[in-house]
Amino acid sequence: MSVPELSPILWRGSARDGELRLLDQRLLPGQEQWVSCKTIDQVAQAIREMVVRGAPAIGITAAYGMVVAAQDGERRQLAGAARRGHLESARRALAATRPTAVNLFWVLEQCRARCEEDVTLEQLLHWARQIHDADVEGNRRMGVIGADRLSQGMGVLTHCNAGALATGGVGTAIGVLTTAHRQGKNIHVYVDETRPRLQGARLTAWELSREGIPYTLICDGMAASLMSRGRIQACIVGADRIAANGDVANKVGTYGVAVNAHYHEIPFYVAAPVSTFDLQTPGGDHIPIEERAASEVTQWGTEQVSPEGAVVYNPAFDVTPNRLVAAIFTEIGEISPVNARSIAKLLSPR
Ligand code: MRU
Protein backbone atom coordinates (compact mmCIF):
# COMPACT_ATOMS: atom_id res chain seq x y z
CA MET A 1 0.00 0.00 0.00
CA SER A 2 1.45 3.38 -0.91
CA VAL A 3 1.49 6.14 1.71
CA PRO A 4 0.28 9.67 0.94
CA GLU A 5 3.09 11.96 -0.23
CA LEU A 6 4.48 14.06 2.56
CA SER A 7 4.33 17.78 1.98
CA PRO A 8 5.53 20.02 4.82
CA ILE A 9 4.60 23.29 3.03
CA LEU A 10 1.04 24.10 1.96
CA TRP A 11 -0.61 27.14 0.45
CA ARG A 12 -4.34 26.97 1.18
CA GLY A 13 -6.74 29.18 -0.78
CA SER A 14 -6.47 32.08 -3.17
CA ALA A 15 -3.69 34.67 -3.51
CA ARG A 16 -5.84 37.26 -1.76
CA ASP A 17 -7.27 35.23 1.15
CA GLY A 18 -5.09 32.11 1.28
CA GLU A 19 -2.56 31.22 3.93
CA LEU A 20 0.80 29.53 4.28
CA ARG A 21 0.83 26.45 6.51
CA LEU A 22 3.96 24.66 7.68
CA LEU A 23 4.29 21.27 9.35
CA ASP A 24 6.15 22.01 12.59
CA GLN A 25 9.25 19.82 12.19
CA ARG A 26 10.45 20.61 15.71
CA LEU A 27 7.70 18.40 17.08
CA LEU A 28 8.15 15.39 14.80
CA PRO A 29 7.82 12.47 15.04
CA GLY A 30 5.80 12.79 18.26
CA GLN A 31 3.23 15.32 17.07
CA GLU A 32 1.99 16.41 13.65
CA GLN A 33 1.07 20.04 14.17
CA TRP A 34 0.66 22.73 11.54
CA VAL A 35 1.62 26.37 11.97
CA SER A 36 -0.15 29.17 10.05
CA CYS A 37 2.05 32.06 8.96
CA LYS A 38 0.08 35.26 8.50
CA THR A 39 2.87 37.83 8.64
CA ILE A 40 6.37 38.02 7.20
CA ASP A 41 7.76 38.02 10.75
CA GLN A 42 6.04 34.70 11.39
CA VAL A 43 7.50 33.26 8.18
CA ALA A 44 11.01 34.49 9.07
CA GLN A 45 10.67 33.12 12.60
CA ALA A 46 9.51 29.73 11.27
CA ILE A 47 12.65 29.49 9.12
CA ARG A 48 15.00 30.72 11.86
CA GLU A 49 13.58 28.39 14.50
CA MET A 50 13.46 25.43 12.10
CA VAL A 51 9.71 24.85 12.01
CA VAL A 52 10.66 24.38 8.36
CA ARG A 53 14.21 23.41 7.43
CA GLY A 54 16.26 21.84 4.64
CA ALA A 55 17.65 23.99 1.84
CA PRO A 56 14.96 23.55 -0.87
CA ALA A 57 12.11 23.75 1.68
CA ILE A 58 13.50 27.02 3.05
CA GLY A 59 13.59 28.44 -0.49
CA ILE A 60 10.00 27.36 -1.24
CA THR A 61 8.80 28.79 2.08
CA ALA A 62 10.49 32.10 1.28
CA ALA A 63 8.66 32.25 -2.06
CA TYR A 64 5.28 31.80 -0.34
CA GLY A 65 6.51 34.20 2.35
CA MET A 66 6.70 36.93 -0.26
CA VAL A 67 3.01 36.28 -1.06
CA VAL A 68 2.25 36.70 2.65
CA ALA A 69 4.13 40.03 2.58
CA ALA A 70 2.21 41.15 -0.52
CA GLN A 71 -1.12 40.26 1.16
CA ASP A 72 -0.14 42.48 4.07
CA GLY A 73 0.73 45.32 1.64
CA GLU A 74 -2.70 44.90 0.06
CA ARG A 75 -4.48 45.08 3.43
CA ARG A 76 -2.60 48.29 4.17
CA GLN A 77 -3.47 49.59 0.68
CA LEU A 78 0.16 50.22 -0.20
CA ALA A 79 0.90 51.14 -3.81
CA GLY A 80 3.83 52.18 -6.00
CA ALA A 81 7.05 53.00 -4.16
CA ALA A 82 5.52 52.28 -0.73
CA ARG A 83 4.56 48.76 -1.85
CA ARG A 84 7.97 48.17 -3.41
CA GLY A 85 9.66 49.30 -0.19
CA HIS A 86 7.40 47.00 1.84
CA LEU A 87 8.29 43.98 -0.32
CA GLU A 88 11.98 44.88 -0.20
CA SER A 89 11.96 44.90 3.59
CA ALA A 90 10.19 41.50 3.53
CA ARG A 91 12.95 40.20 1.27
CA ARG A 92 15.56 41.49 3.71
CA ALA A 93 13.79 39.93 6.70
CA LEU A 94 13.83 36.54 4.96
CA ALA A 95 17.47 36.94 3.85
CA ALA A 96 18.48 37.50 7.49
CA THR A 97 17.09 34.15 8.72
CA ARG A 98 19.65 31.47 7.88
CA PRO A 99 22.84 32.23 5.93
CA THR A 100 24.07 28.90 4.53
CA ALA A 101 21.34 27.35 2.36
CA VAL A 102 21.71 29.19 -0.93
CA ASN A 103 18.26 28.16 -2.21
CA LEU A 104 16.86 30.93 0.00
CA PHE A 105 18.95 33.57 -1.78
CA TRP A 106 18.25 32.03 -5.19
CA VAL A 107 14.53 32.52 -4.55
CA LEU A 108 14.92 36.02 -3.10
CA GLU A 109 17.03 37.11 -6.06
CA GLN A 110 14.29 35.98 -8.48
CA CYS A 111 11.80 37.88 -6.39
CA ARG A 112 13.77 41.13 -6.48
CA ALA A 113 13.11 41.69 -10.20
CA ARG A 114 9.43 40.77 -9.83
CA CYS A 115 8.91 43.18 -6.96
CA GLU A 116 10.60 45.98 -8.87
CA GLU A 117 8.13 45.38 -11.72
CA ASP A 118 5.05 45.78 -9.50
CA VAL A 119 4.05 42.14 -9.65
CA THR A 120 0.42 41.36 -8.69
CA LEU A 121 -0.53 39.09 -5.79
CA GLU A 122 -1.81 36.47 -8.22
CA GLN A 123 1.41 36.55 -10.24
CA LEU A 124 3.45 36.20 -7.06
CA LEU A 125 1.47 33.14 -5.92
CA HIS A 126 1.74 31.64 -9.42
CA TRP A 127 5.54 32.08 -9.29
CA ALA A 128 5.78 30.55 -5.77
CA ARG A 129 3.75 27.55 -6.95
CA GLN A 130 6.06 27.19 -9.96
CA ILE A 131 9.11 27.09 -7.67
CA HIS A 132 7.37 24.47 -5.52
CA ASP A 133 6.25 22.33 -8.49
CA ALA A 134 9.69 22.51 -10.13
CA ASP A 135 11.23 21.13 -6.95
CA VAL A 136 8.77 18.21 -6.92
CA GLU A 137 9.65 17.33 -10.51
CA GLY A 138 13.39 17.96 -9.92
CA ASN A 139 13.38 15.54 -6.99
CA ARG A 140 11.76 12.90 -9.15
CA ARG A 141 14.34 13.23 -11.92
CA MET A 142 17.29 13.37 -9.52
CA GLY A 143 15.99 10.23 -7.82
CA VAL A 144 16.08 8.29 -11.07
CA ILE A 145 19.55 9.59 -11.97
CA GLY A 146 21.00 8.80 -8.54
CA ALA A 147 19.32 5.41 -8.12
CA ASP A 148 21.25 4.24 -11.16
CA ARG A 149 24.40 4.23 -9.00
CA LEU A 150 22.88 2.02 -6.32
CA SER A 151 22.79 -1.72 -6.75
CA GLN A 152 20.91 -4.64 -5.30
CA GLY A 153 21.33 -5.19 -1.58
CA MET A 154 23.55 -2.19 -0.84
CA GLY A 155 23.91 -0.69 2.63
CA VAL A 156 23.74 3.09 2.21
CA LEU A 157 24.55 5.66 4.89
CA THR A 158 22.85 9.05 5.03
CA HIS A 159 23.33 12.03 7.33
CA CYS A 160 20.76 14.64 8.41
CA ASN A 161 17.43 14.77 6.56
CA ALA A 162 17.32 15.35 2.82
CA GLY A 163 13.88 13.91 2.27
CA ALA A 164 10.33 15.11 1.67
CA LEU A 165 10.43 17.23 4.82
CA ALA A 166 13.42 19.16 3.46
CA THR A 167 12.08 19.72 -0.06
CA GLY A 168 8.92 20.12 -2.11
CA GLY A 169 8.86 16.52 -3.32
CA VAL A 170 10.25 13.11 -2.44
CA GLY A 171 13.59 14.57 -1.36
CA THR A 172 17.12 14.76 -2.74
CA ALA A 173 19.29 12.09 -1.05
CA ILE A 174 16.20 10.36 0.36
CA GLY A 175 14.57 10.73 -3.07
CA VAL A 176 17.41 8.67 -4.54
CA LEU A 177 17.02 6.05 -1.80
CA THR A 178 13.24 5.98 -2.20
CA THR A 179 13.56 5.53 -5.95
CA ALA A 180 16.04 2.67 -5.53
CA HIS A 181 13.69 1.05 -2.98
CA ARG A 182 10.69 1.41 -5.30
CA GLN A 183 12.78 -0.16 -8.07
CA GLY A 184 13.08 -3.23 -5.85
CA LYS A 185 16.81 -2.86 -5.20
CA ASN A 186 16.48 -4.10 -1.63
CA ILE A 187 18.72 -1.43 -0.13
CA HIS A 188 19.26 -0.97 3.61
CA VAL A 189 19.71 2.58 4.89
CA TYR A 190 21.95 3.48 7.83
CA VAL A 191 20.72 6.73 9.36
CA ASP A 192 23.10 8.95 11.34
CA GLU A 193 21.15 10.42 14.25
CA THR A 194 22.70 13.84 13.37
CA ARG A 195 23.54 15.75 16.51
CA PRO A 196 22.58 18.24 17.76
CA ARG A 197 19.08 18.66 16.25
CA LEU A 198 18.61 14.96 15.48
CA GLN A 199 17.25 15.41 11.98
CA GLY A 200 18.32 11.82 11.21
CA ALA A 201 16.76 10.22 14.29
CA ARG A 202 13.57 12.28 14.25
CA LEU A 203 12.90 13.05 10.59
CA THR A 204 14.76 10.67 8.27
CA ALA A 205 13.86 7.63 10.37
CA TRP A 206 10.22 8.79 10.37
CA GLU A 207 10.17 9.24 6.59
CA LEU A 208 11.81 5.86 5.95
CA SER A 209 9.33 4.14 8.30
CA ARG A 210 6.40 5.71 6.44
CA GLU A 211 7.79 4.50 3.12
CA GLY A 212 8.64 1.03 4.45
CA ILE A 213 12.33 1.34 3.57
CA PRO A 214 14.44 -0.90 5.82
CA TYR A 215 16.82 1.18 7.97
CA THR A 216 19.01 1.13 11.04
CA LEU A 217 19.43 4.24 13.16
CA ILE A 218 22.97 4.77 14.49
CA CYS A 219 24.76 7.31 16.63
CA ASP A 220 26.97 9.57 14.50
CA GLY A 221 30.14 8.08 16.01
CA MET A 222 29.22 4.57 14.82
CA ALA A 223 29.50 5.14 11.07
CA ALA A 224 33.27 4.55 10.67
CA SER A 225 33.09 1.27 12.51
CA LEU A 226 30.20 0.04 10.32
CA MET A 227 32.18 1.00 7.23
CA SER A 228 35.17 -1.02 8.43
CA ARG A 229 32.90 -4.03 8.96
CA GLY A 230 31.70 -3.90 5.35
CA ARG A 231 28.10 -2.94 6.13
CA ILE A 232 28.10 0.25 4.05
CA GLN A 233 28.68 0.31 0.28
CA ALA A 234 27.75 3.94 -0.44
CA CYS A 235 27.00 7.22 1.34
CA ILE A 236 24.54 9.82 0.09
CA VAL A 237 23.65 13.22 1.51
CA GLY A 238 21.94 16.45 0.43
CA ALA A 239 23.55 19.90 0.33
CA ASP A 240 22.89 23.43 1.51
CA ARG A 241 25.29 25.12 -0.87
CA ILE A 242 27.69 23.82 -3.49
CA ALA A 243 30.52 26.17 -4.50
CA ALA A 244 31.64 26.61 -8.10
CA ASN A 245 34.47 24.08 -7.58
CA GLY A 246 32.13 21.44 -6.10
CA ASP A 247 32.94 21.88 -2.39
CA VAL A 248 29.74 20.97 -0.54
CA ALA A 249 28.30 22.62 2.57
CA ASN A 250 25.89 20.32 4.38
CA LYS A 251 24.83 19.48 7.94
CA VAL A 252 27.72 19.41 10.40
CA GLY A 253 29.17 15.90 10.50
CA THR A 254 28.93 15.39 6.74
CA TYR A 255 32.65 16.07 6.29
CA GLY A 256 33.47 13.37 8.82
CA VAL A 257 31.29 10.90 6.91
CA ALA A 258 33.10 11.78 3.66
CA VAL A 259 36.57 11.39 5.23
CA ASN A 260 35.61 8.02 6.69
CA ALA A 261 34.12 6.91 3.37
CA HIS A 262 37.32 7.91 1.55
CA TYR A 263 39.46 5.92 4.01
CA HIS A 264 37.27 2.85 3.49
CA GLU A 265 37.08 3.34 -0.31
CA ILE A 266 33.31 3.79 -0.24
CA PRO A 267 31.75 6.22 -2.77
CA PHE A 268 30.35 9.39 -1.22
CA TYR A 269 27.51 10.95 -3.25
CA VAL A 270 25.61 14.24 -3.02
CA ALA A 271 22.11 14.83 -4.41
CA ALA A 272 21.06 18.45 -4.89
CA PRO A 273 19.03 20.57 -7.28
CA VAL A 274 20.63 23.16 -9.54
CA SER A 275 19.27 25.86 -7.16
CA THR A 276 21.77 24.64 -4.51
CA PHE A 277 24.80 25.56 -6.65
CA ASP A 278 26.38 28.93 -5.99
CA LEU A 279 28.63 29.70 -8.92
CA GLN A 280 29.50 33.13 -7.43
CA THR A 281 31.30 31.37 -4.57
CA PRO A 282 34.57 29.91 -5.85
CA GLY A 283 35.22 27.39 -3.09
CA GLY A 284 34.04 26.07 0.26
CA ASP A 285 36.17 28.53 2.30
CA HIS A 286 33.87 31.32 1.14
CA ILE A 287 30.59 29.66 2.14
CA PRO A 288 29.00 31.39 5.16
CA ILE A 289 28.47 28.86 7.92
CA GLU A 290 25.62 29.46 10.33
CA GLU A 291 26.39 29.23 14.05
CA ARG A 292 23.46 28.38 16.27
CA ALA A 293 22.66 28.66 19.97
CA ALA A 294 24.82 26.85 22.52
CA SER A 295 21.66 25.45 24.09
CA GLU A 296 21.25 23.09 21.11
CA VAL A 297 24.37 21.30 22.40
CA THR A 298 24.15 21.79 26.15
CA GLN A 299 20.54 20.62 26.42
CA TRP A 300 18.83 17.36 25.62
CA GLY A 301 15.33 18.62 24.85
CA THR A 302 14.71 20.89 27.79
CA GLU A 303 17.09 19.05 30.10
CA GLN A 304 20.52 20.60 30.75
CA VAL A 305 23.21 17.93 30.19
CA SER A 306 26.39 20.03 30.43
CA PRO A 307 27.80 21.97 33.35
CA GLU A 308 26.58 25.55 33.70
CA GLY A 309 28.84 27.84 31.63
CA ALA A 310 30.22 25.10 29.31
CA VAL A 311 31.92 26.72 26.32
CA VAL A 312 30.25 25.55 23.10
CA TYR A 313 31.04 25.80 19.39
CA ASN A 314 27.92 24.99 17.35
CA PRO A 315 28.29 25.48 13.60
CA ALA A 316 25.23 24.04 11.85
CA PHE A 317 27.16 23.01 8.73
CA ASP A 318 30.58 21.90 7.53
CA VAL A 319 32.25 21.78 4.13
CA THR A 320 33.29 18.63 2.29
CA PRO A 321 36.00 19.27 -0.33
CA ASN A 322 35.19 18.28 -3.90
CA ARG A 323 37.88 15.58 -4.04
CA LEU A 324 35.93 13.50 -1.52
CA VAL A 325 32.73 13.59 -3.58
CA ALA A 326 32.40 10.79 -6.15
CA ALA A 327 29.39 12.34 -7.91
CA ILE A 328 26.67 14.95 -7.55
CA PHE A 329 23.18 14.01 -8.79
CA THR A 330 21.06 16.91 -10.02
CA GLU A 331 17.73 17.04 -11.84
CA ILE A 332 19.52 17.69 -15.13
CA GLY A 333 22.25 15.07 -14.88
CA GLU A 334 25.15 13.66 -12.90
CA ILE A 335 28.41 15.50 -12.24
CA SER A 336 31.46 13.24 -11.99
CA PRO A 337 34.30 13.89 -11.45
CA VAL A 338 33.35 16.84 -9.29
CA ASN A 339 35.32 19.97 -10.17
CA ALA A 340 34.81 23.50 -11.49
CA ARG A 341 34.99 22.37 -15.10
CA SER A 342 32.45 19.54 -14.89
CA ILE A 343 30.07 21.76 -12.90
CA ALA A 344 30.32 24.64 -15.38
CA LYS A 345 29.76 22.17 -18.23
CA LEU A 346 26.49 20.84 -16.79
CA LEU A 347 25.17 24.14 -15.49
CA SER A 348 26.12 26.49 -18.31
CA PRO A 349 23.06 27.74 -20.20
CA ARG A 350 22.40 25.62 -23.26
O1 MRU B 1 19.74 22.70 9.57
P2 MRU B 1 18.91 22.00 8.54
O3 MRU B 1 18.06 20.91 9.09
O4 MRU B 1 18.13 22.98 7.69
O5 MRU B 1 19.97 21.31 7.59
C6 MRU B 1 19.53 20.56 6.51
C7 MRU B 1 20.61 19.89 5.76
O8 MRU B 1 21.77 20.04 6.05
C9 MRU B 1 20.19 19.09 4.57
O10 MRU B 1 21.05 18.01 4.39
C11 MRU B 1 20.25 19.98 3.32
O12 MRU B 1 19.52 21.16 3.52
C13 MRU B 1 19.73 19.29 2.12
S14 MRU B 1 17.99 19.08 2.17
C15 MRU B 1 17.49 18.41 0.71
Tell me the per-residue pLDDT of 313-337, one tens digit each, with 9 for 90 and over: 999 999 999 999 999 999 999 999 9
pLDDT tens for residues 49-98? 999 999 999 999 999 999 999 999 999 999 999 999 999 999 999 999 99
CA distance 6 to 32: 12
pLDDT tens for residues 224-269? 999 999 999 999 999 999 999 999 999 999 999 999 999 999 999 9
Confidence of residue 4 (pLDDT cuts 50, 70, 90): low
The yes-or-no verdict on residue 348 having pLDDT over 90 is no
Atom of ligand 1 minimally distant from the CA of 238: 13
The yes-or-no verdict on residue 46 having pLDDT over 90 is yes
**Known catalytic residues?**
240
Q: Say what the pLDDT of residue 1 is.
A: 39
**Whose Cα sits closest to atom 15 in ligand 1?**
162
Atom of ligand 1 minimally distant from the CA of 55: 12
298 in contact with ligand 1, CB cutoff 6 A = no
Higher pLDDT pick, 114 / 206: 206
Residue 155's nearest CA partner among 110, 222, 108, 93 is 222
pLDDT tens for residues 142-195? 999 999 999 999 999 999 999 999 999 999 999 999 999 999 999 999 999 999
Atom of ligand 1 minimally distant from the CA of 290: 1
Q: Say what the pLDDT of residue 210 is.
A: 96
pLDDT tens for residues 269-294? 999 999 999 999 999 999 999 999 99
> Helices marked H in the chain — which ranges?
40-48, 55-75, 80-95, 102-116, 121-147, 173-182, 205-211, 223-228, 254-263, 295-298, 340-347
What mean pLDDT comes out for the span 213-227? 98
| SS3 category, 250 | strand
**Whose Cα sits closest to atom 6 in ligand 1?**
54
| SS3 category, 158 | strand
Check: pTM over 0.95? Answer yes or no.
yes
Residue 147's nearest CA partner among 96, 120, 100, 182 is 182
143 in contact with ligand 1, CB cutoff 6 A = no
25 in contact with ligand 1, CB cutoff 6 A = no
Distance 161 CA to ligand 1 centre (A): 6
167 in contact with ligand 1, CB cutoff 6 A = yes
Q: Say what the pLDDT of residue 350 is.
A: 59
CA distance 133 to 197: 28
Among 26, 61, 136, 199, the mutation site with the greatest number of ligand 1 atoms within 8 A of its Cβ is 199
Q: Say what the pLDDT of residue 2 is.
A: 47
CA distance 36 to 150: 39
102 in contact with ligand 1, CB cutoff 6 A = no
pLDDT tens for residues 5-32? 788 999 999 999 999 999 999 999 999 9
What mean pLDDT comes out for the span 131-135? 97
53 in contact with ligand 1, CB cutoff 6 A = yes
